[in-house]
């Protein structure tokens, strides 16, 4: 089945445009309003972070937001239910960890995600080799399983991941966690050139992008950028200042 997110991201790439994916942690103050602001200010895809108590891929800013969301009493299925009552003009993808879904039962979690309008999953702690655990349950549902590939991934494995990823390919140019500073050296450029030669799939770069200047620079080498920590930090510092999120 051709997932709608795959068609959407391919269309953006075919039009010669660069995609902007913005990340918001669900359950922190004004998170749904922040999504609206991101959409209004040009985001092509919204990545909704479903909080987890041990967010191994996330840096201190997003980890703090996850803890805050949990302190606020957030529960995965309730957050998804909140989304189901809102209609956004852009696709939503959910970023979370496998235990979050597994603890509720995969069938229930996937149904709740579909009801919420989620069109893609990013599950960083579920390896490509184990992805059939989730894919078999997703089945014909219109939810893309977005795979991650990094600069340390072996060439053979990189090709397999790029071939099987749905929606877009989440490329991790930086060795580390979200929110770190990224330096654009030749190694990163070579990494993206290799991705282009390996797959025709849209590749979006996440981790380390904090400023418009960084996004503009790295978008020369990939099909889109994923911005999270800088947005979440603004929302955590002043949930009422939604205007700053769109800047």
194 vs 17, 65, 160, 162, 206, CA distance in Å? 20, 34, 14, 11, 17
207: Cα separation from own chain's centroid: 10
Strands 144-146, 148-150: pairing is: unpaired
The CA distance from 34 to 231, in Å, is: 9
Q: Are 222 and 204 in contact (CB under 8 A)?
A: yes
Active site residues: 47, 58
Radius of gyration of the chain (CA): 17
Q: In sequence order, which ranges of 55-154 are alpha helices (DSSP H)?
A: 60-71, 76-84, 98-104, 106-115, 132-138
Half-sphere exposure of 70 (CA within 13 A, CB side): 13
What is the DSSP code (8-state) at residue 141? S
């Amino acid at each position: 089945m051709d997932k709608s997110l795959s068609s959407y991201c391919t269309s953006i790439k075919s039009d010669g445009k660069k995609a902007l994916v913005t990340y918001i942690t669900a359950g922190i103050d004004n998170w749904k309003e922040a999504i609206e602001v991101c959409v209004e200010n040009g985001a092509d895809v919204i990545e909704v972070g479903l909080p987890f108590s041990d967010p191994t891929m996330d840096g201190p800013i997003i980890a703090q937001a996850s803890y805050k969301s949990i302190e606020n009493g957030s529960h995965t299925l309730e957050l998804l239910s909140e989304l189901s009552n809102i209609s956004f003009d852009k696709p939503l993808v959910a970023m979370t960890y496998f235990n979050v879904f597994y603890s509720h039962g995969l069938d229930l979690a996937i149904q709740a995600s579909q009801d919420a309008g989620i069109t893609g999953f990013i599950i960083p702690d579920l390896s490509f080799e184990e992805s059939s655990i989730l894919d078999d349950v997703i089945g014909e549902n219109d939810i893309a399983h977005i795979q991650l590939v990094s600069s340390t991934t072996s060439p053979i494995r990189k090709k397999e991941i790029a071939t099987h990823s749905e929606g877009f390919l989440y490329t991790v140019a930086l060795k580390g966690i979200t929110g770190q500073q990224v330096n654009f050296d030749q190694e990163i450029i070579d990494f993206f050139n290799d991705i282009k030669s390996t797959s025709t799939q849209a590749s979006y770069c996440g981790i380390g992008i904090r400023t418009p200047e960084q996004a503009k620079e790295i978008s020369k080498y990939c099909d889109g950028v994923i911005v999270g920590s800088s947005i979440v930090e603004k929302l955590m510092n002043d949930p009422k200042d939604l205007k700053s999120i769109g800047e």
